[in-house]
């Protein structure tokens, strides 16, 4: 399986058996690629980080990051103030931001740049 299909199989909570622990998908290669993209919210370049979706739907839990399949680029702190990543994690300041759309756009960029492969059965 490719990164996208592996990640989606490990991401969907409804696919797990009762009592089965969901293992979040991890890919350093994909995280580095996402961090190389401009901030998806403000467009800042050269200071993005791979931000994880803050939803239990994507494996997020107390002290546990969600799956790497649900990440998108948000900028880090800047000399002038807090970055978009910090604001997103604290649940403030990103007016009209849609994480689901950001995840989809980031996956599309990964496919276009050859970092992700779509595998058909």
- The confidence score (pLDDT) of residue 46 equals 92
Count the alpha carbons within 13 Å of 24 in the hemisphere toward its beta carbon. 21
Q: What is the model's pTM?
A: 0.75
Asked whether the beta carbons of 41 and 84 are under 8 A apart, the reply is yes
Q: How does residue 26 score in pLDDT terms, banded at 50, 70 and 90?
A: confident
CA distance 85 to 88: 5
- The confidence score (pLDDT) of residue 24 equals 73
- The confidence score (pLDDT) of residue 67 equals 83
pLDDT tens-digit profile of 32-64? 999 999 999 999 999 999 998 876 556 565 566
pLDDT tens-digit profile of 60-108? 655 667 788 889 999 998 777 789 999 988 887 788 999 889 999 999 9
């Amino acid at each position: 399986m490719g990164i996208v299909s592996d990640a989606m199989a490990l991401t969907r909570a409804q696919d797990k058996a009762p009592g089965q622990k969901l293992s979040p998908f991890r890919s350093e290669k994909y995280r580095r690629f996402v961090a190389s993209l401009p901030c998806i919210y403000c467009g800042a370049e050269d200071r993005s980080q791979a931000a994880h979706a803050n939803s239990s739907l994507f494996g997020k839990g107390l002290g546990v990051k969600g799956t790497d399949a649900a990440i998108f680029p948000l900028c880090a702190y800047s000399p002038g103030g807090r970055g978009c990543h910090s604001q997103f994690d604290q649940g403030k300041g990103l007016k009209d931001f849609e994480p689901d759309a950001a995840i989809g756009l980031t996956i599309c960029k990964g496919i276009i740049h050859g970092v992700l492969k779509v595998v058909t059965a």
